A and B are shown apart, each in its own frame.
Chain A
Amino acid sequence: MSQCLCEGVQRPKQSHALLVEQGVATPCSVKIATTPERRFAMTNDDCDTVSFAGMTILLVLCSYAKLSLHMQFQRREHATFLQRDVRKDFMTLENNLSRTLELIDLCFRLKEAYIRQLQPQASPEKIRELIYQGIRARKEKQWTSPEIFLKH
């Protein structure tokens, strides 16, 4: 515990010593050394500590500041974690979209191959036309089916 030169003069020794120990005040000697002419005529202004009531407030504020920093840090960590999670989720969705498109692509490539096998003489344009006709026909069937009217 640092020696306090103002002890017994203006402040309760314990208050200043505690603040010095906690690093929120410098020992009087340090400050007084910068004002040597007042070395032996100390007033409240010369002592760089605070009153007991002030110290309590300071300590409470310090505690809050520490707690707040801790909470902010925690929140930030949490936010980073959440961001990472959201990013991961969106990557999954993008991957799903790619796989869905690949699947659709695969289905129609297989259909193309199937039609080509059924009609080897058909041109690629004809095969394309047949596939699109199929898509439209299936849709038409869906739309005109009484079941759809009941379900929708």
Chain B
Amino acid sequence: MDIARDLFETLKSVCALLHDAEVKCCLIGGLAVGILAKPRATEDIDLLILIEENKLPSLTVLLKKKFEVIQERNIMHFEKATIYRTILGSPAADKTGLVIVDFILADNDLYREAVLNPLNLIVDDVIIPVAKHEYLIKIKNLSNRPQDLLDIASLKEVLEKSGI
């Protein structure tokens, strides 16, 4: 089993799909923190996505072009975020794994700004947009869970070291 490979391949495929469909997105959550600050483990992919809630069915259609959509939960409305959660079959050749991808709708100014100003990391010819440190810190501040506080500390440490 190779969960890291599944996560990575899924991330690349989803980013490529969204890029081709001209849907703006950027990586937030554990993977983004792992990339921008201290590498850390995580089990899922969190993507901020610039799409209207009523267009989410078309996102599912898009995902089904490349993935087996094992589960598509109803949209979850929280006070500070609207999240569309999916469980996707791994795009790897053996297709045995599954990957949880949370799509967080960029429905407020902070999220929109983060999606529109990402750091574009190019890996294996795929553009992976990652939310910039400053946005990630603000987004993490909204959630403010213990893990978020640790993430904020490591992001701030990187910012201080780089003198930004």
A residues at B contact (CB < 8 Å): 90, 93-94, 96-97, 99-105, 107-108, 112, 124, 127-128, 131-132, 135-136, 138-139, 143, 147-152
The SS class assigned to the B binding surface is: mixed
Contacting residues of chain B (5-53) with chain A, CB-CB under 8 angstroms: 5, 7-8, 31, 34-37, 39-44
B43/A99 in contact, CB under 8 A: no
Q: How far is the CA of A88 from the CA of B125 in the complex (A)?
A: 18
List 29 contacting pairs A-B, 8 Å CB cutoff, sorted by A.
Answer: A93-B130, A94-B121, A96-B34, A96-B39, A97-B121, A97-B123, A99-B39, A100-B39, A100-B40, A100-B42, A101-B4, A101-B5, A101-B7, A102-B39, A103-B39, A104-B41, A104-B43, A105-B3, A105-B4, A108-B3, A132-B97, A132-B98, A135-B98, A139-B100, A143-B76, A150-B79, A151-B144, A152-B80, A152-B83
Contact A108 B85 (CB under 8 A): no
Min CB–CB distance A50 → chain B (angstroms):
51
Check A103–B40 contact: CB distance below 8 A: yes
Which size class do B's interface residues fall under? 35 or more
Contact present for A138 and B43 (CB under 8 Å):
yes
Do A139 and B44 have beta carbons less than 8 Å apart? yes
User: Are B41 and A103 neighbours in the complex by a CB distance under 8 Å?
Assistant: yes
Q: How far is the CB of B50 from chain A (nearest CB, A)?
A: 19
- Asked whether any CB of chain A lies closer than 8 Å to the CB of B1, the reply is yes
Question: Which residues does B use to contact A, with CB under 8 Å?
Answer: 1-5, 7-8, 31, 34-37, 39-44, 73, 76, 78-81, 83, 85, 87, 96-98, 100, 119, 121, 123, 130, 142-145
